Amino acid sequence: MVAADAGEVHVAGFLRTLFAAESPARDADTIRAAAIAVWHIAKAALVRDFAERVLRGEVPPREPTADSLSHWLAARLLTPQQLADFEADASTREDEDQTTTDNGN
């Protein structure tokens, strides 16, 4: 659950279902404290595992992309005609930005 980004609240809900079968009168504060502890233990284990993978060279270094986020999204969401219009508009804006920079404004 924690590896799938479940929060401490989700872990508490899961523990509550486990403890309900054992003792329905389990204190909510006890469940919350146990959930916090389990969540932190799991997160620490995930960080440790990732660090070990990095040290073994199993995680490739991050390489920045030359493509901007707006263009990356446009290429995946727009139709070919909309993408062509977007790219033409982006070129116009870049030309205007360059002219403004050259004039010192």
What type of residue sits at position 73?
L
Q: Residue 97: inside a domain, yes or no?
A: yes
d(CA 38, CA 15): 10
pTM of the model: 0.52
**What's the domain range around 77?**
69-102
Domain count along the chain: 2
Q: Residue 2: inside a domain, yes or no?
A: no
Report the pLDDT value the prediction gives residue 98, as an integer from 0 to 100.
Answer: 59
Q: Residue 84: inside a domain, yes or no?
A: yes
What type of residue sits at position 18?
L
What type of residue sits at position 42?
A
Report the pLDDT value the prediction gives residue 24, as an integer from 0 to 100.
Answer: 64
One pLDDT digit (tens) per residue for the chain, 105 residues: 888 889 989 999 898 888 877 776 678 888 889 999 999 999 999 999 999 999 999 988 888 888 888 888 999 999 999 999 998 888 777 666 555 555 555
Q: Quick check: helix, strand or coil at residue 61?
A: coil
What type of residue sits at position 88?
A
Report the pLDDT value the prediction gives residue 67, as an integer from 0 to 100.
Answer: 85
Q: Residue 3: inside a domain, yes or no?
A: no
Q: Which residues of 74-100 are buried (b: 16+ CB within 10 A; e: fewer)?
A: beeeeeeeeeeebeeeeeeeeeeeeee
